[in-house]
Structure 1
Amino acid sequence: MSAWKKYAYLWITLILFLGSLIGHWLFGWSAYVSEQQAHGEPIEFAGYFTEMMRDTLENWQSEFLQLMWQVCGLAFFLFVGSPQSKEEDDRLEEKLDEILRAVKPDEADKLIQQIDKRFPGRDVGPKF
């Protein structure tokens, strides 16, 4: 699988992020120029840059960082296997094992062992 397909969500998010950041700075420039002209002040990039950095960081602090913590924090804890994430996995795997035993009682244990070999590191569910 190519990196474009494998990380499609990342690329789309990056494009949206950069598009919104560029749009924010372009519209900010327009507003800055209008404000400077209305007050008869010179248009200086240094003043614009300082104002836009302040606004950008303020927006990130109030919105972006909160959301990133919620999303990344949750993803991290699910990845490392917090007790909350493992409970549902254990329960689901045990249910699937029981369904397999009900459908194919003679072959179930062999199939479960084959699946466990294909997906190592998943030590959940009862062992008989």
Structure 2
Amino acid sequence: MRRFLKENSLSLAFGVLFLGSLAGQAIAGWHQLNDELFADGLDRITLGGYLTSASFAVDVTENWQSEYLQFLLYVMLTVWLVQRGSPESKPLGDAGQESDEKQRVGAYARDDSPKLARVGGLRTALYSRSLGITMGVIFLLSWMVQSVAGWASYNEVRLQQLRDPITWGSYLLHSDFWARTLQNWQSEFLAVGSMAVLAIYLRQRGSPESKPVGSSHEATGVEG
């Protein structure tokens, strides 16, 4: 057990942080919504009711979709684009999908290579892009859930204001949907871009996301 915890400590730590912050968000959001309902003269809801509400669903999924979009773009753009001096970039001469030999695909696979890297054909082609495909699917699904939950939540507010609800198609073109979406996208793009640039000049000793402390600012694709 001790060995398992040590060898998986990074994923376990983030799992605990995720569950803790999700629980905190649920409780805080529940109190916030009840305060708003009370101010509007409406009945408060239970925590269980809030967890199954459109308000909670849209608040959660609008963050999920932006995070997975961030990683999707990062995975895909770093195939072709480089940044001189950044450990977040491949070496300047390695832009592109690289050769089968360098990627250890097909005849160049090693004994410990995954089976799908050796079989060739469509299965290897799909496996070669499986990370980007998975990130893209999760992004699209969470964005779809956000749109439906956001639509339901927005119409709840309209009904409380004695206004007619709008269709899902209309909501996809509405400022409420795009304000929720773009406020998350811009922060994700800023964070990733900042990391790529700041890591050129700044260091974090022992982190694989940083160059070794003594590496040149010009060193590209070097991890410590």
Normalising by structure 2, report the TM-score: 0.31
Output the amino acid matched with 1:43. R
Q: Which of the residues 91, 98, 108 maps onto 1:83?
A: 98
Structure that is richer in helix per residue? 1
Over 3 Å counting, the alpha-carbon distance change for 1:56 and 1:34 in structure 2 is same
Tell me the distance in 2 between the aligned counterparts of 1:42 and 1:121.
61
Corresponding residue SS for 2:43: coil
The size of the alignment, in residue pairs, is 83
Tell me by how many angstroms 1:41 deviates.
0.5
State the structure with more CA Rg.
Answer: 1
Tell me by how many angstroms 1:66 deviates.
2.1
Over 3 Å counting, the alpha-carbon distance change for 1:53 and 1:121 in structure 2 is closer
Q: Which of the residues 69, 72, 75 maps onto 1:69?
A: 72
1:25 corresponds in structure 2 to: 26
Over 3 Å counting, the alpha-carbon distance change for 1:47 and 1:18 in structure 2 is closer
Tell me the distance in 2 between the aligned counterparts of 1:70 and 1:29.
33
Output the amino acid matched with 2:72. W
Q: Is the 8 A contact 2:26 2:56 kept in 1?
A: yes
Tell me by how many angstroms 1:120 deviates.
5.5
Tell me the distance in 1 between the aligned counterparts of 2:10 and 2:68.
19
Percent identity, please: 24
Over 3 Å counting, the alpha-carbon distance change for 1:47 and 1:28 in structure 2 is closer
1:60 corresponds in structure 2 to: 64
Tell me the distance in 1 between the aligned counterparts of 2:35 and 2:63.
22
Normalising by structure 1, report the TM-score: 0.51
1:39 corresponds in structure 2 to: 40
Corresponding residue SS for 2:41: coil
Output the amino acid matched with 1:83. E
Output the amino acid matched with 1:51. S
Stretches of structure 2 that go unaligned for 5 or more consecutive residues are 80-96, 104-109, 114-224
Corresponding residue SS for 2:69: helix
Tell me by how many angstroms 1:47 deviates.
5.7
Over 3 Å counting, the alpha-carbon distance change for 1:61 and 1:121 in structure 2 is closer
Tell me by how many angstroms 1:55 deviates.
1.3
Over 3 Å counting, the alpha-carbon distance change for 1:65 and 1:121 in structure 2 is closer
